[in-house]
Amino acid sequence: MGQYNDYLKQVRANITEKKEQSNTKASMYSKAALVGLTTVLLNDPDESITLFAGSKDGVVETQVNPAKAHREQLKKVAKHTFGIDDADVAKLDSVQFSKGYAESLVDLNLIATKDYLDTGKKITLPMRSTGETQATIAVVDRGQKETKLRELKDGPDGKKISIETDKVSVTAPQKAVKVTNKTMAWNKKTK
């Protein structure tokens, strides 16, 4: 297990601890954690990531190495664009990327992902284990929504009761992110 998986476990533990301390089930977005994960992954080029996908024959397991692939692409740019020789280009195999560099990649990816979703296309997240659903993210249009407002009043028995008012809350049409979770065939049984 490489540095990345060790760091990922640490981030998960920290987030779980913060959720328990704040007594909430929801977790908050942390750009710092995302940048930290990206930095560690970029600087661990030998880290292989296991991904799972479904096929008609069942589960397909593949190994990917995104940090190594990133370095290979940088080497091509350095060699072909700037004419740097092979010995100097090989130095990219061991270069340590800064947090600032990782943050620029995170920002680039977040903006491109959001703009891609705004085109109406969907993104399917990679599955890291066989015990999870295949999650797809899409941006959908939510129409105008009207909700009758209610207020609490004292009831005949002294308890508070909810009474509908004449007021209506109107939410303007807007775009919203929708997540769809598909249970994979290997996680289904017929009894």
For the stretch 3-44, pLDDT in tens is 888 888 888 888 888 888 877 766 667 788 899 999 999 999
Q: Are 142 and 153 in contact (CB under 8 A)?
A: no
Q: What is the pLDDT of residue 26?
A: 64
What value, to the nearest 5°, has the Cα angle with vertex 27 and ends 181 and 98? 100
Residues 95-146 pLDDT 10s: 999 999 999 999 999 999 999 999 999 999 999 999 999 999 999 999 999 9
* Whole-number pLDDT of residue 21: 81
pLDDT recorded at residue 1 = 56
Residues sharing a CB contact under 8 Å with residue 134, sequence separation 6 or more, in sequence order: 54, 124, 125, 127, 181, 182, 184
Bridge partner residues of 150 (DSSP): 164
Q: How many CB atoms lie within 10 A of CB 67?
A: 22
- State mean pLDDT over 48-58: 88
Percent of the chain exceeding pLDDT 90 equals: 66
Token pair, residue 154, equals 């004292």
